[in-house]
Amino acid sequence: MNSDILYERSKKLMPGGVNSPVRAFGSVGRNPLFIDHAKGSKIYDVDGNEYIDYVCSWGPMILGHGDDRVIGAVQDACENGLSFGAPTEKEAILAELIKQCVPSMERIRLVNSGTEAVMSAIRVARGYTGRDKIVKFRGCYHGHSDGLLVKAGSGALTQSVPDSAGVPLDYTKNTLVAEYNDRDSVSRLFEENKGEIACVIVEPVAANMGVVLPEEGFLEFLRSITTDNGALLIFDEVITGFRLSLGGAQEYYGIVPDLSTFGKIVGGGLPLAVYGGRKDIMDMVAPVGAVYQAGTLSGNPIATAAGIATLRILIEENERGLYDELEKKGSILADGFRKSMGDYVWVNQIGSLLSVFFTKEPVRDYESAISADTKIYARYFNAMLEKGIYLAPSQFEAMFISAIHSEYDIKATIDAILLTGKIW
Ligand SMILES: *Cc1c(COP(=O)(O)O)cnc(C)c1O
């Protein structure tokens, strides 16, 4: 197996043979596939196997792989040079497109990764409010910056503790952890830390503990409690942006956050992410304001070209009902899982985001998400892989459906579920 040979070779060079931990397939008990290429809804490993891809690079490839229009735009951009470290028209074009889709993005800064976008947005919120503490939700992921790698202090502990070695306690002591969909847990933090909380950051639809939907009124509640307490509301739309609708979760749910972060889709598969929001808040950022944030490759012309092409296509396809189609595919797939696996699983789905949890209880927060049986998930993952379906190698990641997944792909996937038999 060429994948196995490459894995052995890579392990001697990189920690775990990979450049991002989940790629190592650790939680599904097998070696990772090494990818040769991908086109449309299909991904091909170095051993020549073809799979229907539901990872889609963890979200960016909403148009499917190797879209000719995006690749053409990238090739054209390359002809003009790879990076200048000076402003270009492309940055303005991309910012205009983002603002057109997401009106709350009055001022925008381009960066290179979701991690960087969130880290910067939080710095701005702290600079603007003059407060240090932030609130995040257990099970929501916002990249790997020090202050966000926290777990909630248990029981008597009121202080959050680092969730990674190498993160000093001092870096996480200002990160307060609330429970997703639990308003009381948020109210309590605001009562205990009056006048000290700079912002609440949330994935408006959580998609990093598997997909977990906000319950009715939860996001509205976050909007009002932050406003009432002089804190900012940050929507981390790195996954939901341009996926739930052209205007992201904020359009879908009709909530206007103060700041937002985007990544994944907005770069069309190249390293590009965005933070931005209210003009008066974003004017805190250097060189206008006192919050420092910079980047050598920020707004890079090649990544920007991929982002522009992707957003233009999404805007065009939206007119033809793209997001309704994605919702339809998502719900057909979700129903397929529910029908074939019945009471053994809990399925959460919204638009083109989907998770199948191997638990009988409704999944509405971190606690219920981790009640899922990861051993059964591993069996299910491997059974599906054998049938040519490439799923996320972890129970706690979303399935991503792209515009190019066909009815036939969806049907083949449902057939594969039936063929796996009762592995649960
Ligand atoms: C992926 C992700 C990030 C981090 O983005 P990177 O580009 O991997 O640094 C942040 N927030 C959310 C919600 C994400 O899904």
Per-residue tokens: 296: 């050598």
Q: Which tens digits make up the pLDDT trace of 229-238?
A: 999 999 999 9
Q: Which atom of ligand 1 is nearest to the CA of 143?
A: 4
Kindly state if the Cβ of 143 falls inside 6 Å of ligand 1: yes
- Alpha-carbon span 406 to 131, nearest angstrom: 49
Report DSSP state, residue 272.
-
Kindly state if the Cβ of 105 falls inside 6 Å of ligand 1: no
Strand 133-137 versus strand 197-202 pairing type: parallel
Q: Which tens digits make up the pLDDT trace of 143-167?
A: 999 999 998 655 545 578 899 999 9
Which pLDDT score, from 0 to 100, does residue 156 have? 47
Average pLDDT, rounded, for the chain: 96
- pTM of the complete model beyond 0.95: yes
Distance 114 CA to ligand 1 centre (A): 4
Q: Average pLDDT for residues 128-157, to the nearest whole number? A: 88
- What sign for the dihedral angle of Cα 334, 337, 343, 344? negative
Kindly state if the Cβ of 202 falls inside 6 Å of ligand 1: no
Peptide bond into 287 cis (omega under 30): yes
Distance 421 CA to ligand 1 centre (A): 34
- Would you call 264 a catalytic residue per the annotation? yes
Task: Reply yes or no on whether the pLDDT at 308 is more than 50.
Answer: yes
Kindly state if the Cβ of 142 falls inside 6 Å of ligand 1: yes
Q: In this prediction, what percent of the chain has a pLDDT beyond 70?
A: 98
The count of other CB atoms within 10 Å of the CB of residue 414 is 17
- Would you call 323 a catalytic residue per the annotation? no
Q: Look-up: residue for tokens 């982002």? A: 307
- Alpha-carbon span 271 to 265, nearest angstrom: 10
Cβ within 8 Å of residue 116, ≥6 positions away: 143, 273, 295
- Cα 72 versus chain centre, distance: 26
